[in-house]
């Protein structure tokens, strides 16, 4: 009786409300997928509902058998998901802050700046800093989140060094003289001011030169005392890091100001003086400067040393090797002629080099071909990720444009890489499988206004498709009910009658089976034996 009293307005309201709710769920699911790369409903069901329903991981029983075989690949995956310091990072005061002043956007994320603060504490501090007042102030300054507080602390550290210390030197037994001596300058304070307070590259270079004078003196003193104990050894290690950082940033200042040959000389001297300090990746700065000079023979010599199977790769290494091989054939390359006569040996080498580079980092070609817009590179990058692609293309796009036909060759051949590796997350061709952690790390490193490049391209989750179909179906029902209320009412009542009659039929069958059991006194048995009896 209740169902017979329902009017068509009820069905319009029911279908319209269902369509609205499913549409809201669809919008939320789409937003969550674009931001985090996964379905919210799927994540909740796997994380929370599956344990409640008694779900068990099928792979847990096989962990003991596969742990030894997968240990190497897991270790490689962890190393490839490590975040690295960007060797070509910009100056925070002279470049990043100027971008913020002009656009009102923050080019650096909190996660990226926090990693830089950790790097500064690792490179520029040691356990004995509390013995020197200026170093103790700078140790706190590197932990400060507020930029103005860091700059004020650096100025305070420099002011402390202006205090003069008097040292008594006996001249004769009955008298003394006073020798006036200045305390050594604080090199790390100059570094902070050059990085964050200087508004131009020229100002930063002046501050780095003052830091070099102070840092070189500290390095020479600690070098003489490094064997006197672990404390002096830690000081020498810190002073070495400070000196290398200052010289590298001075070379980058010279490169920014157009003195490229001077920058190349400074980088070569630095690599000869400190050959074991590979954590700064100075060779990548050298490669970029040599490409600017179009010294391709010198670039090939550097690649021969660092493009080795035992050394870690980077987008700079792989794509620079591809550029050099493409340079030999790109000016005469034609896709039509190549399809008719086939590829020559040199062209095949160039294509293979491009495929190798694309397999290592598949995000780079879209930036080199200007299919995606560039942003300022972050201070840290993830190898094989979108952040590394941005950092490479930001500085090397001009070098690819300078080589005639190189971008055309890249455009014609880069997508062929994906045919060789149809399942990049499971198996690679020349490198390990592509790590699955790059998207999450890149979203932390890159600003929110940038659309993160995702590889391999993810298909839409099932629940987005399901909610889209549900929203469309209920919206269509609401529209039909509104346009044809009597017809849809009859249809709804017919569906309800069919459903109710099916339920009644099932109930009648169950009651008949129960009566037969009572009359024949059949003991309880499985359902299949009930039907046999």
66-122 pLDDT, tens per residue? 444 444 444 444 444 788 999 999 999 999 999 999 999 999 999 999 999 999 988
If one counts every other C-beta atom within 10 angstroms of the C-beta of residue 310, the result is 4
HSE-CB for 212 with a 13 A CA cutoff: 13
For residue 488 the two structure tokens come to 């849809």
pLDDT band at 439 (very low <50, low <70, confident <90, very high): confident
Phi, psi of 166 (to 5 degrees): -100, 135
Q: Is residue 26 predicted with pLDDT exceeding 80?
A: no
pTM: 0.71
Contact (Cβ atoms closer than 8 angstroms) between residue 196 and residue 143: no
pLDDT band at 56 (very low <50, low <70, confident <90, very high): very low
Give the contacts of 160 (CB within 8 A, at least 6 positions apart).
133, 134, 137, 183, 186
CA distance 266 to 249: 10
Of 185-194, 303-312, 342-351, where does mean pLDDT reach its minimum? 303-312
Give the contacts of 41 (CB within 8 A, at least 6 positions apart).
29, 463
CA distance 27 to 99: 33
pLDDT band at 48 (very low <50, low <70, confident <90, very high): low
Average pLDDT score over residue span 183-210 = 89
Contact (Cβ atoms closer than 8 angstroms) between residue 446 and residue 372: no
Residue 365 Cα to chain centre, angstroms: 17
Compute the mean pLDDT over every residue in the chain, rounded to the nearest whole number: 79
Contact (Cβ atoms closer than 8 angstroms) between residue 468 and residue 403: no
What's the pLDDT at 519?
57
SS3 44: helix
Contact (Cβ atoms closer than 8 angstroms) between residue 158 and residue 134: yes
């Amino acid at each position: 009786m209740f169902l017979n009293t329902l009017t068509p307005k009820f069905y319009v309201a029911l279908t319209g409300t269902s369509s609205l709710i499913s549409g809201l769920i669809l919008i939320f699911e789409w937003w969550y997928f674009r931001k985090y790369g996964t379905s919210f409903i799927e994540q909740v069901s796997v994380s929370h509902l599956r344990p409640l329903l008694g779900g068990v991981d099928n792979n847990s029983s096989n962990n003991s058998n596969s742990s030894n075989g997968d240990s190497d690949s897991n270790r490689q995956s962890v190393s490839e998901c490590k975040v690295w310091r960007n060797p070509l990072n910009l100056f925070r005061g002279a470049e990043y802050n100027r971008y913020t002043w002009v656009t009102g956007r923050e080019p650096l994320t909190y996660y990226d700046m926090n990693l830089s603060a950790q790097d500064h504490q690792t490179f520029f501090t040691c356990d004995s800093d509390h013995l020197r007042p200026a170093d103790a102030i700078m140790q706190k300054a590197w932990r400060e989140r507020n930029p103005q507080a860091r700059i004020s602390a650096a100025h305070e550290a420099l002011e402390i060094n202006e205090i003069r210390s008097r040292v008594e030197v006996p001249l004769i037994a009955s008298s003394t003289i006073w020798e006036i001596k200045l305390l050594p300058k604080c090199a790390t304070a100059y570094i902070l001011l050059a990085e964050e307070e200087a508004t131009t590259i020229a100002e930063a270079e002046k501050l780095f030169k003052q830091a070099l004078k102070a840092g070189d003196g500290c390095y020479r003193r600690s070098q003489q005392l490094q064997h006197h104990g672990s404390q002096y050894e830690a000081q020498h290690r810190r002073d070495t890091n400070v000196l290398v950082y200052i010289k590298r940033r001075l070379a980058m200042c010279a490169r920014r100001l157009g003195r490229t040959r001077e920058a190349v000389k400074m980088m070569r001297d630095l690599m000869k003086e400190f050959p074991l300090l590979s954590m700064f990746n100075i060779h990548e700065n050298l490669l970029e400067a040599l490409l600017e000079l179009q010294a391709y023979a010198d670039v090939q010599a550097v690649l021969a040393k660092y493009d080795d199977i035992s050394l870690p790769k980077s987008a700079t290494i792989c794509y620079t090797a591809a550029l050099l091989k493409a340079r030999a054939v790109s000016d005469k390359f034609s896709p039509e002629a190549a399809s008719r006569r086939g590829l020559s040996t040199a062209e095949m080498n160039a294509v293979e080099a491009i495929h190798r580079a694309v397999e290592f980092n598949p995000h780079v070609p879209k930036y080199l071909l200007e299919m995606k817009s560039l942003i300022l590179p972050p201070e840290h990058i993830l190898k094989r990720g979108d952040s590394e692609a941005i950092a490479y293309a930001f500085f090397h796009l001009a070098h690819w444009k300078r080589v005639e036909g190189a971008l055309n060759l890249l455009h014609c051949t880069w997508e062929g890489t994906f045919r060789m590796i149809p399942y990049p997350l499971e198996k690679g061709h020349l490198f390990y499988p592509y790590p699955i952690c790059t998207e999450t790390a890149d979203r932390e490193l890159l600003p929110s206004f940038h659309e993160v490049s995702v590889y391999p391209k993810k298909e839409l989750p099932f629940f987005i498709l399901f909610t889209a179909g549900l929203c469309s179906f209920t919206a269509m029902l609401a529209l039909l009910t509104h346009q044809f209320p009597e017809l849809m009412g009859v249809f709804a009542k017919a569906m309800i009658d069919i459903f109710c009659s099916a339920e009644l039929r099932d109930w009648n069958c169950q009651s008949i089976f129960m009566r037969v059991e009572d009359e024949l006194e059949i003991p309880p048995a499985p359902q299949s034996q009930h039907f046999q009896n």
